[in-house]
Structure 1
């Protein structure tokens, strides 16, 4: 009898405090303290019924349009919040005040345009993903000074610039993804605070040029992606100091030549780590440096045979690496 009473007491305590509660339309995995609301007709954040001990919350493919500090206060132990592909338009200021342990926030593919000041303050975020929204302006006021972020993804938005004031708040950043935006330039000193940066993705923007010193302080860069921009020329010392660079993407730009010595600065390239394809290479005497580099380093070039001459007409369609000294009018 005593055993039965003890079990009954434990049962009441367990259920009475709502430990096994779960919002309608969601699934709760109590052992792992995880809640998933996936492809359900939610229109409001499901605060009601969320277990207080939830540490990982995923809400995706719903019709939720806003989220506030009040909503998140229902899960004070939250560490990971994934809000992929909802209809979020609004985030409240001081959004993270009630989740002091949150380290991962993913807001991919919503309808966010403007974000208020302090929206990502008050929590020790390490990873912030704002991919595929409609953000046209990044604001330093989003984040606290000396942010803990190591991963920031702003790809697939409408940014024309990234303010230096925002980057100064990111001394621990290791990954920065700005691909698929509308960036026209990277100010000369703007990346200087990012001394721990290892991966930078600038794919598919509108960059027409790069300052010679833009990467001078990012000496830990290992992956640098610059394809599908409008780059016509590269400064001779652009990659100086990038001794750890293993992957460099320069494909699908407007490069006709590269300056002598440019690729000698990136001696740590992986096999097939350099992509120079889909550029309008002018195969005259000025292509000699690229031609000689390819002769010695062909294994480091991705699809080396696809680095093709666009001009002159007599050499159009020929792989640069296949040319002869006589065709380039070079002296032996």
Structure 2
């Protein structure tokens, strides 16, 4: 009987110890324990090291934000093998080890926004079933195809706010499941002709805030599920007539703050009634070459946001006039017909 009592007390003590460990919380952090998850948040504190001590082993979501964390290793993450969301934004990380994610096989989301990352090693994102990867606002100058495994599960990739001058087609070819791609606010001057060829599931593409001056006619021909295409704040001077051909799901097109003067005939044909577009901040030249866009604007005014701000930059007689308010004779179309 005494043996049974001893075993019972031992079991109770072990249970209490495990429970206390599961519900512990690191210094400078807060923890919550909703059903089936454990969330740890270390926000805006003086944390300068990974909070291993007191970190619940069943942590599923960990956020270390606006701290002074300067390094993280695979050994650190091995303390939380059930992790599925990891947010490390606005710290002082300058590098990542290639085996960082090897002990967190359930990791779904990784957010590294606002660090000091420049070069990332090969295979750094090949050890987890990542679906969402955010590398926004770092110092990355080169995107490497070797970051990812073949046929990656990634559906969302955000590389905005870096220093990229090019995105290798080989990198994007490894991401056939990608649905959201954000490359805005980099230094991209051109896109490789086949860069987007393998992105058949792509729904949202953000190329805003780059230095693109032209686009290949077939650059989006394999992205037939695109619903959002953001091209504002570039240096686009003209668009190919076939650029949007086949994009029957396109809902939003942003072209504001470019160098466009005309639209080619046929560019917007067959766009659905819910389609929305912004065209402000372009130097539109209101002559006979404006006929296609002028007619489209007058027939579909409800599809153009800030329509009243789509103004002529020339010729001098029509400067600052609303494009949609012009007449055939002002555009010189009567002369052509006669």
Structure 1 residue corresponding to 2:45, chosen from 40, 43, 51: 40
Structure 1 residue corresponding to 2:243, chosen from 234, 238, 247: 238
Match of 1:125 in 2: 130
Moved more, 279-288 or 29-38: 29-38
**Residue 17 of structure 2 is aligned to residue 15 of structure 1:** yes
**Residue 89 of structure 2 is aligned to residue 80 of structure 1:** no
Deviation at 1:188, TM superposition (A): 1.1
Match of 2:57 in 1: 52
Q: Does the aligned pair in 1 maintain the 2:168–2:192 contact within 8 Å?
A: no
- SS of corresponding position for 2:295: helix
Match of 1:28 in 2: 31
- SS of corresponding position for 2:290: helix
1: CA distance, partners of 2:295 / 2:44? 55
Structure 2 residue corresponding to 1:298, chosen from 296, 301, 326: 301
Match of 1:100 in 2: 105
Structure 2 residue corresponding to 1:284, chosen from 276, 283, 287: 287
Match of 2:194 in 1: 189
Match of 2:311 in 1: 308
**Residue 332 of structure 2 is aligned to residue 329 of structure 1:** yes
Change (3 A) 1:16 1:189: closer
Q: What RMSD in Å do the two structures reach over aligned CA positions?
A: 1.8
Gaps of 5+ in 2: none
Moved more, 95-104 or 24-33: 24-33
Moved more, 14-23 or 219-228: 14-23
Match of 1:229 in 2: 234
Deviation at 1:303, TM superposition (A): 1.2
Deviation at 1:9, TM superposition (A): 5.3
1: CA distance, partners of 2:117 / 2:12? 45
Cα deviations across residues 31-84 of structure 1 (Å, max 9, x unaligned)?
Answer: 431111111111111122211111100110110011111111110000000111
Q: Does the aligned pair in 2 maintain the 1:245–1:269 contact within 8 Å?
A: no
2: CA distance, partners of 1:200 / 1:11? 55
Task: Find runs of 4+ consecutive structure 1 residues off by over 4 angstroms.
Answer: 5-9
Gaps of 5+ in 1: none
Q: Does the aligned pair in 2 maintain the 1:14–1:20 contact within 8 Å?
A: no
- SS of corresponding position for 2:141: coil
2: CA distance, partners of 1:285 / 1:217? 33
1: CA distance, partners of 2:9 / 2:156? 47
Q: Does the aligned pair in 2 maintain the 1:128–1:151 contact within 8 Å?
A: yes
Taking structure 2 as the reference length, the TM-score comes to 0.93
2: CA distance, partners of 1:227 / 1:245? 16
2: CA distance, partners of 1:254 / 1:296? 24
Cα deviations across residues 268-287 of structure 1 (Å, max 9, x unaligned)?
Answer: 2536x111111000001100
Deviation at 1:151, TM superposition (A): 0.3
- SS of corresponding position for 1:166: helix
1: CA distance, partners of 2:97 / 2:251? 41
Deviation at 1:124, TM superposition (A): 0.2
